[in-house]
Amino acid sequence: MKTISIKVMMGCAALLLAGQSCTDLTEKTFDVLPTSGDFGSTQAQRDALIGPLYNGLGDYWSNMTDLNTTTDEQIVPTRGGDWKDGDKWVRYYTHTWDPVTDNSVFNDRWNWCYNNITAINQQLGKLTDATGIAELKTLRAFFHYQAMDLFGNVIIANQLGGASPQQSTRAQVFSFVEKELLDNRATLSSTVGGPNYGRMNKYVSDMILAKLYLNAQVYTGTPRWRDAVTRLDTIINSGKFTLASDFLSNFTTQNQGSPETILATPFSSTKRTGFRPQMSTLHYLHSLTYNLGQQPWNGFCAVTEFYNSFDDKDARKKMWLVGPQYKADGTPLIDDSQPVVLNPDVTTLSYTAGYVGRSAGARSAKYQIQRNNFTTDSWQDNDFIIYRLGDAYLMRAEANLRLGNVATAVTDANIIRARAGMTAYTATTLTLNEMLAERGRELAWEMHRRQDLIRFGQYTKAWRLKGASQDYRTLFPIPRDQISLNPNLKQNPGY
């Protein structure tokens, strides 16, 4: 079993309370509230305050995985009556989501950002430790960055209470996030792994800044490619991270030791549950392949052209399950008297009931599927990686390519190509279109694709089973629930 500091910290508050009620029988006075300086002065107390706040970061995967269906790498066809769900998956994929019908989807993501921001603000006033304050402000900046990326003009929530907050422009939120990260970076820890695994540190701050700068032209209208390179240089040249020799080793069940992880959210099948990507993608009968206690749901799969973008020699192609499928004992899986053969060609968004629909689409096994897993809903022990070194190399390659530093870009991109066993790029073969394709192959289903497609001007283009969509779809609608609560919020254009 893993020993992960975040999981320990998440239980600190409960342990403190348990200790008081079970082992100390001295009469206590409850009518005197402690001052802010009475708690948070020791490391254990700081962990008790800060630890639970990372639980919200752990919800990153669950909040982003459905929205990944708005991209060209993930599709969820209806299979008979399964995955009908009021046609929401069709609306996501075809960019026809509706601010009324789909309000709860967007409201959940908004609340994910701002509930976590509020919780951080509540604890900031209790801390006196400069490192702890810097850590929480960096985490708060991360959630503001997510809100800005999803919704555009949002709220800067850097204090508690007051009247209905004003809506800020995307450029204003960009500036706020940038300043928060820059002002607090020097005070953050430079330690990675160990007690700092899954927490904000200097290099996580650099990665968020690099993402900001890489997408600055989208967010503010002004490109910041050179600033992105500067931040990525700091990460790559730090010596704190190295590429794993085996690409898929980053995603194993016990992947907390991956040398290229910059930020991960720890999960456990019994403690911090919530990670189960295999349930959404595997065929129903794969429970017999992996000896799962629950039958998978047979939903998410790769868009055909996205799967076909992987060369057969590409080591990363092993992340996909296609072709004949077998039980744990090696005998074929049988569905409706036919061997299960997963066909990567998805031909419709709505299959009739039957074998063809059930076996359509390449399935993801990027995160190692945990065999003999009988936990509720087959929760897995893999930690979800938000940022890693492979992404940093490709980000730096892209920024340099856009700056005209082609040779430098080729060098970085070929570091990633070499690990995948693929032919090296040259100055003529590494185009921007190829850069986007390579990012797709390296980062498939890691929740970066929407942002990448928008930056490359491809998000609203037509692709398989999806026509061209309107430019305003690069932002999601401000949730109607939030507009009702706050008269200062204005809806995004087009909605």
| pLDDT computed for residue 209 by the predictor | 99
Average pLDDT on 121-131 reads 92
| pLDDT computed for residue 90 by the predictor | 98
Cβ within 8 Å of residue 85, ≥6 positions away: none
DSSP letters, 105-157, are HHHHHHHHHHHHHHHHHHHHTT---HHHHHHHHHHHHHHHHHHHHHHSS-B--
Alpha-carbon span 121 to 127, nearest angstrom: 11
pLDDT bin (cut points 50, 70, 90) of residue 38 is: low
State whether the Cα torsion 321-323-329-334 is positive or negative.
positive
Average pLDDT on 479-488 reads 97
**5 in Cβ contact with 256 (< 8 Å):** no
pLDDT digits (tens, 9 = 90+) for 240-291: 999 999 999 999 999 999 999 999 999 999 999 999 999 999 999 999 999 9
Residues 111, 454, 414: CA angle, nearest 5 degrees: 115
pLDDT bin (cut points 50, 70, 90) of residue 165 is: very high
Q: Residue 30 pLDDT more than 90? A: no
Q: Residue 11 pLDDT more than 50? A: no
| pLDDT computed for residue 40 by the predictor | 58
Alpha-carbon span 448 to 308, nearest angstrom: 19
| pLDDT computed for residue 51 by the predictor | 86
pLDDT digits (tens, 9 = 90+) for 64-123: 999 999 999 999 999 999 999 999 999 999 999 999 999 999 999 999 999 999 999 999
Least confident of 19-33, 147-161, 305-319, 372-386: 19-33
**182 in Cβ contact with 208 (< 8 Å):** no
pLDDT digits (tens, 9 = 90+) for 359-386: 999 999 999 999 999 998 899 999 999 9
Distances (CA, A) of 124 to 148, 176, 462: 22, 17, 46
DSSP letters, 98-119, are -TTTTHHHHHHHHHHHHHHHHH
- How much is the mean pLDDT over the chain? 92
| pLDDT computed for residue 9 by the predictor | 40
Using DSSP's 3-state secondary structure scheme, residue 463 falls into strand
Average pLDDT on 162-186 reads 96
Q: Which amino acid is at 311?
A: D
Give the chain's length.
495
How many CA atoms are closer than 13 Å to the CA of 71, on its beta-carbon side? Answer: 27
Alpha-carbon span 477 to 474, nearest angstrom: 10
Distances (CA, A) of 278 to 255, 295, 307, 308, 466: 16, 10, 17, 21, 25
Cβ within 8 Å of residue 45, ≥6 positions away: 39
What domains can be seen in the chain, in order of their start residue? 39-180 (1.25.40.390), 189-266+387-459 (1.25.40.10), 277-382 (no CATH)
| Burial of 23 per CB tally in 10 Å (0-12, 13-18, 19+) | exposed
User: Residue 364: which H helix or E strand, with range?
Assistant: strand 363-364
The model's pTM is: 0.92
**442 in Cβ contact with 394 (< 8 Å):** yes
| pLDDT computed for residue 163 by the predictor | 83
pLDDT digits (tens, 9 = 90+) for 319-346: 999 999 999 999 999 999 999 999 999 9
pLDDT bin (cut points 50, 70, 90) of residue 36 is: very low
Average pLDDT on 183-188 reads 98
Distances (CA, A) of 396 to 1, 55, 113, 131, 260: 36, 30, 28, 29, 15
**403 in Cβ contact with 225 (< 8 Å):** yes
Average pLDDT on 110-138 reads 95
